Amino acid sequence: MTAVSILLVDDHPIVREGYRRLLERQPGFQVVGEADTAAAAYRAYRDVGPDIVIMDLSLPGAGGLEAIRHIRQWDKGARILVFTMYSGSTFALKAFEAGASGYVTKSSDAAALIKAVGIVARGSRALSDDIAREVAAERLGEGRSLVEDLGPRETEILRLVASGRTTEEIAAFLNLSAKTVQNYHYQIKSKIGARTDAHLVWLAIGAGLVDAEKAD
């Protein structure tokens, strides 16, 4: 089986070395490059073409969010796992809006990082438990579900969208036209105040419609 190739982006060499050793002790993981700035991360991504980028948000100069945006502009299929000290849901949401595929805090144990790398490698979204709780607490803190105003069909379509299903797949599942599904999608975003599809996924996670580890 081909190893999952990983690019490490962190401005501390000792920290990168620790992560490299941790990751390469796992079967099927190989660190193929390192970078310490957003610009270096972009160049390294183009040079080595890794399967996954593990990205800190705190970088000198342009930060990790800019690095995520830049890489994703060049490669829409880039899989980027944020690994950072920032534990607030705001940073996590911004990272996903920029194009990240996962978000794990450095306060998590090593097993959480290893698990998240595997999840992102499979093409799904990953969240550490503390971030998942933070999102849920913020979104549901007033005791009213954000999806309360949605009908049964709208709720199901939201669940499917947040699970990574395409418009065509949802149309086939529910025996609807693609145009009808697109109209539902727009109405759902309007009703629950989702600014983007990434935001929509976060709201669905916070409302408990999808498991954070399974949302694509």
Give 32-80 pLDDT, tens digit per residue: 999 998 889 999 999 999 999 999 988 876 778 878 988 998 999 999 9
Q: Flag whether pLDDT at 191 surpasses 70.
A: yes
Longest dimension (CA), the chain: 55
Contact between 12 and 19 under an 8 Å Cβ cutoff? The reply is no
Which residue reads 């911004």 in tokens?
Answer: 94
pLDDT digits (tens, 9 = 90+) for 7-24: 999 999 999 999 999 999
Contact between 127 and 205 under an 8 Å Cβ cutoff? The reply is yes
Joined tokens for residue 46: 């183009």
Q: Flag whether pLDDT at 145 surpasses 90.
A: no
* Poorest-pLDDT segment among 68-72, 88-92, 126-130, 169-173: 88-92
Please report the pLDDT score of residue 113 as a whole number. Answer: 93
Angle at 213 (CA atoms; ends 212, 216), nearest 5 degrees: 85
Task: Determine the Cα–Cα distance for residues 82 and 63; give it in Å rounded to an integer.
Answer: 12
pLDDT digits (tens, 9 = 90+) for 82-105: 998 877 676 787 788 788 999 999
Closest CA to 29 of 99, 110, 94, 138: 110
Q: How far is CA 2 from CA 46, 51, 102, 121, in A?
A: 20, 11, 22, 12
Quickly list H helices, the chain: 13-24, 38-48, 64-74, 89-98, 110-121, 129-140, 152-162, 167-174, 178-192, 197-206
Please report the pLDDT score of residue 197 as a whole number. Answer: 85
Hey, do 4-138 and 144-206 end up sharing a CATH topology, with the first three levels equal? no
Q: Are strands 29-35 and 52-55 parallel, antiparallel or unpaired?
A: unpaired
CATH class (in words) of the domain with range 144-206: mainly alpha
Closest CA to 116 of 153, 83, 138, 69: 83
Secondary structure of residue 107 in the 3-state scheme: coil
More confident residue, 183 or 199: 183
CATH, domain range 4-138: 3.40.50.2300
Contact between 121 and 78 under an 8 Å Cβ cutoff? The reply is no
Q: Flag whether pLDDT at 194 surpasses 70.
A: yes
For the chain, which residues make up each domain, given as ranges? 4-138, 144-206
Entry field: residues in the chain: 216
Task: Determine the Cα–Cα distance for residues 82 and 124; give it in Å rounded to an integer.
Answer: 14
